[in-house]
Amino acid sequence: MSLNNWKLLEQRPVVKTKWVSVYEEKLDTGNGIIDPFFAIHYQNWCLVIAITPSKKVLINQQYRRGCDRVIKEFPTGAREEGEDPKPTALRELLEETGYELLNNDENADVFELYSTLHEDANRNPCICNAYLMMVKEEPTHKQSLDQHEQILVSKESLEQVRKWCFDGTMQSGLHIAMFFRGVKLLHKLGHIDGAALLFNDDDQE
């Protein structure tokens, strides 16, 4: 048996806004027709795992409506139409946290965290570009938040963030996946002992 991509036959907008759009689709699966199939489109977005010289991670704490609670996560932001992902990530890092790159050098301080990922590969085509960024030990700017944003920023150890990935403090699977990608890259760059961090069982106690 071979697997093939489904064919889009029709796409009818149900809701269309800057932030989210919903489409009713007619699809040919190769084994029949699905009509309707509902697809949800968000803006593409970026995520930043920011590391200070003391090996602390910048963590944002804010309310998220989807899980209806205040959670901890990494700095993120939506890409404007036509905007490249790296400038988006740099802008959102500065706006949300007030932190700048350690050496003010993108070539030395910014590393892409491997491939892009889909947050919901079934119904949502938007992708996330993630970056590991080396930042200064303290913020150099005040936060520049949107009208309804309220974000508390803290510096946490890699060990603490790892525990949060297992105990439910961090709620987004994509954030958790990118954290472990970041750990792998930090190990590859020689900044940490990734094996000791990954296989520490303190979170199971």
Are 74 and 61 within one domain? yes
Confidence class of residue 1 from pLDDT cuts 50, 70 and 90?
Answer: confident
The number of folded domains in the chain is: 2
Return the axis-axis angle of helices 158-167 and 173-188, rounded to nearest 10°: 150
Per-residue pLDDT of 67-85, as tens digits, reads 899 999 999 999 988 899 9
pLDDT of residue 198: 86
Which CATH number covers residue 59? 3.90.79.10
Confidence class of residue 203 from pLDDT cuts 50, 70 and 90?
Answer: low
Q: What is the mean pLDDT of residues 184-188?
A: 96
Domain membership flag for residue 171: yes
What is the extent of the structural domain holding 75? 44-204
pLDDT of 16 > 80? The answer is: yes
Are 33 and 127 within one domain? no
Domain membership flag for residue 183: yes
Q: What is the mean pLDDT of residues 26-46?
A: 95
Per-residue pLDDT of 89-130, as tens digits, reads 999 999 999 999 999 999 999 999 999 999 899 999 999 999
Confidence class of residue 184 from pLDDT cuts 50, 70 and 90?
Answer: very high
Q: What is the mean pLDDT of residues 7-31?
A: 95
pLDDT of residue 133: 98
Domain membership flag for residue 164: yes
Are 98 and 154 within one domain? yes
Are 54 and 19 within one domain? no
Cα–Cα distance between 142 and 123 in angstroms, integer? 37
40's CB contacts (< 8 A; 6+ apart) are: 20, 21, 22, 23, 120, 123, 124
Per-residue pLDDT of 126-179, as tens digits, reads 999 999 999 999 999 999 999 999 999 999 999 999 999 999 999 999 999 999
Are 12 and 69 within one domain? no
Torsion of CA 86, 49, 136, 110, to 10 degrees: -40
pLDDT of 200 > 80? The answer is: no
pLDDT of residue 205: 46
Are 54 and 11 within one domain? no
Alpha-carbon torsion (76, 46, 128, 59), positive or negative: negative
Token pair for 62: 């804010």
Cα–Cα distance between 118 and 124 in angstroms, integer? 8
Domain membership flag for residue 2: no
DSSP, collapsed to helix, strand or coil, labels residue 188 as helix
| Strand partners of residue 27 | 8, 34
